[in-house]
Structure 1
Amino acid sequence: MPILSLQEVVQKSFDYIVIGGGTAGLALAGRLSEEPTVSVLVLEAGQANLDDPKIVMPAQFGQTFGNPQYDWAFNTVKQKHTNNKIHLWSRGKALGGTSTMNFYCWSKPTKTDIDAIERLGNPGWNWTEFIKYSRKSESFHLPAQEQLDVYPHTYNPNFRGLSGPIHTSLAPQFHTIDKLMQETLVNKGIKPVEDPYGGDISGGWIASANIDPKGWKRSYSASGYLQPNLHRPNLNVLTDALVARIVFEDKLTPAADRTASAVEFLFGDGSAIHTVKANREVIVSAGTINSPKVLELSGIGQSQILSSFGLETLVDLPGVGENVQEHVWSPVSFELDDTRGVLHQTLDLLKNPDTAAKHLALYAEGKGLFRSCISSFSFLPIQSCDLPDTPSLIALAEKEAEAAKAQGSAGMGEQVDIWLEILKNKKEPDFEIVALPCVKIALAPAEPSKHYFTLLALLNHPLSRGTIHIQSKDPRVHPEIDPRYFERQIDLEIILQEIKYIRSWKETEPWKSGIVREMDPGPKYQTDDELREYIRNSLNTTWHTVGSCSMLPREKQGVVDPQLKVYGTSNVRVVDISIIPLHIAAHTQTSAYAIGEKAANIIKATFSGKN
């Protein structure tokens, strides 16, 4: 079995050591191990948790959150612009990483967003490359006739992968909510998108989910890239292995890059430091939160931060842990009208133990609510929403862009210019609205016999920038996370306008007839200032953090180059979504898989023909 014991790893050597068995890390390891002459070791700090029902059965949104067996349960520092709230940042602590606990949203960015990565100084990181590697990761299953009978799902098979490790499908449950939202959008003048996986996502559409319809189980990094390949003798995994640092050889000359020779780690609850040797490369794939932590503990980062914890600076790299960007959202919840002959089913039903037991039995038959996921989406340009405040919003954006450029680090100006260009483009999405099939906050009490759902008003392109840095040299101590939510006022104002746009639906059919009342924010919040306060109090993270190891030129606060190699090193790469330098309008799992797939090809090409 390639899931090893401690004794099978300590003081041994492997060609590639992958730090982190998460979404991108297992994709990378699975692809590297396709070459039988190389050895791959994955060091995962969590437990295996393979085939765990809490992970693989859908419709259990958030059930593993806060549980230390499954969740790192990071916390931010107090956010002064959200009334000093501390925000929970859940991340998967298992083989598969956060793909074990995401909400199954299979979405891909716009062509513009991906091409922006190349524009920022990264040749080869463009839409053509992205779609090639994204399709390589996916096996799309066509909707069944029973689904087409209740909702006219549209798709373009040319945009979908059909033979990859991650199975995607159209979940069958929430067609009544899909119709309500999507038909209202059309009547508001918003175009329906035939298939949102070809680079144009502006409009309304039904998303696929990373659920395998053969058994209706979560399809994720461990089930797709690891478990089918456990027979490979060159693919090795050690769980409960928390990396303490990367070990580097002494430099032969002052100008030479640092070469990694080993990785030190803690095992289980022990305090002893163990070592495993790297023959070729060390690949950091610990996620946007832990990847900068690993680099800093290894002596790579801002010298002032490292020296404050008694760490020697081996590579002075100011961009480590900087440029952090996160998606956030605020909820607008509604009570559905059940009196017009429409049979709604929402996840609120599962709060009743008897109903949950009934649907659990149905799940064993491939039926019922436990096949559910989030399905109805809309990504919208501000200009398409016909809001009276749009001119003033654009004016504020221009003013804040200039301030961000003046106060930001080297290279920030180019990011801000692209950000503003997208915001002002009448075809590029600024709003994201997602239908969550349950009540989210319920300032107004929810009743067990009724049905509810929530629209999430999401911010996809934040202007605010945060940081993630170590706060101890002890690897068991979580880093300090400061996303600096709403440090730029424009981020708050965009969500405010989204909520006002959602409220404008009340005069449009079928919304007008299908909704009984708005639960949250509700009638208490009417003025702009009242809604701003509601947003500050209700704000949630989307767990899509990027940027802490940005792929940018070194002089522009970059951490990795277009080959994903850490500047100042000869054989250390970062492979996860921390490399994305400018945030994208998409939920991020597809990007993590594409990064893992592309990284594998980069590394294979590097060592092609070498023994």
Structure 2
Amino acid sequence: MVAVSPPSKAVRSFLSESIKKHHSTCHREYLSYNFQLLIIMSETKAQIDSCRPQYDIIFAGGGAAACVTAGRLAAGDPSLKILIIEAGGHTRELQEHIHPALFSNNLKFRQELFWHHVGSKSEALGGRAPIVSSGRCLGGGSSVNFMVYARAPASDLDGWEKLGNPGWGSHELIPLSAKAETFQGELKSKSGHHGDSGPIKISRGGPEETFTIGTQFLETAAAYDLERGFIEDTEDFTTCDAYGPFHRYVDAETGRRSDTAHHYVYTQEANKNLHILVKHRVSRVIIENNRAVGVEYTPEETGTSCGLQNCLKAFASRLVVVSAGSFGSPTILQRSGIASKVLLELNQVEQIVDLPGVGENYNDHNVVFPPYLTSEDLVSLNKVFCATEVTIQPYLDQWKNDGQGLLVTNGLNSGIKLRPNEKDLTVLGDSFAHLWESKFANSPDKPVLCIANIAGFVRGEEGGKNCFQMGYFVEYPLAIGHVRITSGIDPFARLDFNPRYLEHEADLAVLRWGYKRTRELARRMKCFRGEFVSLHPSFPEGSAATTREASGPVAISDPDILYTSEDDKAIDDYHRAYVSTAWHALGTCAMKPREQGGVVDPRLNVYGVKNLKVADLSIAPLNVGANTYNTAIIIGEKAALIIAEELQSTKYGE
């Protein structure tokens, strides 16, 4: 594996002047850890073609799926010359990436590790502009996410296949999930649903004392919710509506985060044909005669449009794979002339392929994390979540010593993929009734809501109070948004982005149900000491739902809180003010028939262009009822199989 050095400012200045004089340029990067760069100039087209920096495959983006696909291909055939161009930085052995519990500190203190996509102001959000963050580093979301081990229901994957995507059903994709993982712990020997020899490690992860809140949650649920049961394995692709412990992408033996960069790419240091260029952003795909032949990219440090003085090129003899995620991939295609005619004309981009679906079909999950006060003696991750460089040092020292301690866990210990019973359907109301019948009633593996408890206060300062959170997110929101460019040449320009959160009453109804359900569970847990009032709904004066601090929990047998229509409005207002992304963006380069707004076919080929594929979460045609890391891994593994098969074909590349 070879790290690619960005060209120096002096080199870029020289290149700019040469371009002005000669009107042509080419460069070849001989890449090594010594960061060498050779720039060759030529005036004739024949000379230019002969000195174009050549790779077999270029990956435009180095996120979770890209690392899986590129890593598998490089390991399978080390002679392949592969270049990964990633806009963010390296993650190798950096503590903010390898220590599981530091994910919260990254959200608050390491903003450079994320893209922050600002959406349109929305009346549905009380006039707020939503902000969706995504990973900005090698490994993408896998290097900065919450590490929740969650797998989509089998019916979701089968739904992809039914749209006209043979080979993308659960019978073919579930084995790829197992192939990627080593499942550590007791369940490994009890279930045939998990892998035991893959690069990605899954475990319960963390010291037992941090599981106390999760254990209390399960004990409370068993006593309070007599209708639903308990299960040890909540991630078998079929089980739903049962409480259980959570697992995480953490190696039980080393205490490290299990991400795709470290386990698929950084493991191949000896492979000198696998090249990685970080802190460079791909602007567009170079297309000649309807064939992708390379990419243009620009240094992240410029922060300005990709003009002649900054623009660099790399060329691929076999394939360009766009893999920059649900925001990056569609916008790269749009700047490349692949999108609707209206959008391209608006941004003065010459159209190459008319694909109106590029950038549409944006899907996500909506999440809220109401905090609750807890007893001071309960062990939580607040000491880590709100730590300074000084106060976190003892935990870093312990981790370095034995790979254990508070840094090993993400604090998400248990929960449920919840479906409504008859009583719940009444609470959800008429706005949800049609959705229930059309999507859920005949698909018992599909959850409506995911509930999880968190042993700490993930975001924000708690003013010295010990807290836990009850998170809940809508698994299949009706909200479908878009991601569009506002400049045809500037990859740094702000996007036209609208996720359309909470524009449907049914989505609000599910969140309202989630708040009521999680609050009833929280206030019966032994550690409960009241609501964190300022971060809960503002109920009308005198309401039975009023939040307050408490000396202890209510009895399991106490009646549920009765909410009035005014209380419901207060809950809805709260959600409009606080609902946010679950960091699960997908769907903007959908894999479905072209006439249905599709962008790629089942072989991940972009319609209308040869030697161009998309391989990341943007190809998901429909939403999935789970955290999306596992789905990204599956897509990466499937893409590797597809590409490897085509590379072996005599027809490929002709």
The answer to whether the superposition gives a TM-score over 0.5 is: yes
1:158 maps to 192
Which amino acid in structure 1 is aligned with residue 3 of structure 2? I
Q: CA deviation at 1:157?
A: 3.9
Return the alpha-carbon distance in structure 1 between the equivalents of residues 292 and 631 of structure 2: 27
Name the TM-score, length of structure 1 as normaliser.
0.87
Name the aligned partner's letter for residue 405 of structure 2. Answer: G
Task: Say if 2:104 and 2:459, in contact at 8 Å, map to a contact too.
Answer: no
Tell me which residue corresponds to 2:234: 196
* CA deviation profile, 1:193-247 (whole Å, cap 9, x unmatched): 2312321241212222111223312121110011111211221111222111111
Alignment of 1:8 onto 2:40: no
Give the aligned residue type for 1:517.
G
CA distance in 2, matches of 1:609, 1:292: 28
Q: SS where residue 234 of structure 2 aligns? A: coil
Q: 1:422 aligns with which of 433, 437, 440?
A: 440
Q: What corresponds to 2:174 in structure 1?
A: 131
Superposition deviation, residue 78 in structure 1: 1.6
The alignment partner of 1:99 has SS state of helix
Would the aligned equivalents of 2:91 and 2:261 in 1 still touch at CA under 8 Å?
no
Q: How does 1:378-389 map to 2 (within 5 A)?
A: 378-383=416-421, 386-387=423-424, 389=426
The structure 1 residue matched to 2:476, chosen from 444, 461, 473, is 461
Q: Distance in 2 between matches of 1:333 and 1:434?
A: 12
SS class of match (1:89): strand
Aligned residue among 492, 498, 507 for 1:491: 507
Amino acid at match of 2:231: V
Cα pair distance change 1:178/1:398, threshold 3 Å: closer
Equivalent in the alignment of 1:437: 455
- Residue 269, structure 1, aligned to residue 291, structure 2: no
3-state secondary structure, aligned to 2:392: helix
Name the SS for the 2:369 alignment partner. Answer: strand
CA contact (8 A) 1:243 1:263 kept: yes
Instruction: State the distance in 1 between where 2:441 and 2:347 align.
Output: 41
- Indicate which of 562, 568, 580 corresponds to 1:528: 568
Among all aligned residue pairs of Structure 1 and Structure 2, give the percentage whose two residues are the same amino acid. Answer: 29
Counterpart mapping for 1:101-140 below 5 A:
101-140=144-183
Indicate the residue corresponding to 1:183 in structure 2. Answer: 219
The 5 Å alignment of 1:174-573 reads 174-187=210-223, 188-189=225-226, 190-202=228-240, 203-250=242-289, 258-269=290-301, 271-337=309-375, 344-350=378-384, 351=386, 356-365=392-401, 366-373=403-410, 374-383=412-421, 386-387=423-424, 389-390=426-427, 393=429, 395-397=430-432, 420-422=438-440, 425=443, 428-439=446-457, 446=462, 448=464, 450-473=465-488, 474-505=490-521, 511-520=524-533, 522=536, 524-525=538-539, 526=545, 527-573=567-613
Measured in 2, the distance between the counterparts of 1:522 and 1:264 equals 48
1:469–1:506: structure 2 CA closer, same or farther, 3 Å change rule? closer
Cα separation, 1, equivalents of 2:120 and 2:190 = 44
Q: 1:37 aligns with which of 48, 69, 79?
A: 79
Q: 1:107 to 1:260 in 2, by over 3 A?
A: same
Question: Cα offset for 1:332?
Answer: 2.5
1:376 shift after superposition: 1.4
- 1:269 offset after TM fit, Å? 3.2
Distance 1:357 1:266, change over 3 A: closer
- Choose 572-581 or 198-207, whichever is displaced more: 198-207
Task: Identify the residue that residue 88 of structure 1 maps to in structure 2.
Answer: 131
The answer to whether the Cα contact below 8 Å between 2:356 and 2:597 also exists between their aligned partners in 1 is yes
Residues 595-606 of structure 1 mapped to structure 2, 5 A cutoff: 595-606=635-646
- The range that moved more, 98-107 or 73-82, is 73-82
Contact 1:397-1:420 at 8 Å conserved across structures: no
Larger Rg: 2
Structure 2: gaps spanning 5 or more residues? 7-28, 32-38, 40-51, 303-308, 540-544, 546-566
Q: Report the Cα offset of residue 522 of structure 1.
A: 4.6
The Cα of 1:574 is off from its aligned counterpart by 0.6
3-state SS of paired residue (1:106): coil
Structure 2 equivalent of residue 147 of structure 1 = none
Q: Distance in 2 between matches of 1:99 and 1:212?
A: 14
Question: Does structure 1 conserve the Cα–Cα contact (< 8 Å) formed by 2:470 and 2:522?
Answer: no
Does the 8 A contact of 1:109 with 1:201 survive in 2?
Answer: no
Deviates more, 1:263-272 or 1:169-178: 263-272
- The structural deviation recorded for 1:40 is 1.2
Q: Once the 2 structures are TM-superposed, how far is the Cα of residue 447 of structure 1 from its aligned partner?
A: 5.5
What is the SS of the residue equivalent to 2:229? coil
**Range that drifts further, 363-372 or 517-526:** 517-526
**CA offset at residue 268 of structure 1?**
4.5
Q: Is the 8 A contact 1:299 1:314 kept in 2?
A: yes
CA contact (8 A) 2:425 2:433 kept: no
Q: Retained in 2: the 8 A contact 1:155–1:195? A: no
> What is the alpha-carbon root mean square deviation over aligned residues?
2.4
Which stretch has the larger CA shift, 153-162 or 522-531? 153-162
Structure 2 counterpart SS, 1:95: coil
Q: What SS class does the counterpart of residue 107 from structure 1 fall into?
A: coil
Aligned residues: 565
TM-score normalised by L of structure 2: 0.82
Residue deviations 1:287-313, cap 9 Å, x none?
001100000000001110011111011
**Distance change in 2, residues 1:581/1:94 (3 Å):** same
Name the amino acid aligned to 2:197.
S
Structure 2: distance between partners of 1:183 and 1:154: 24
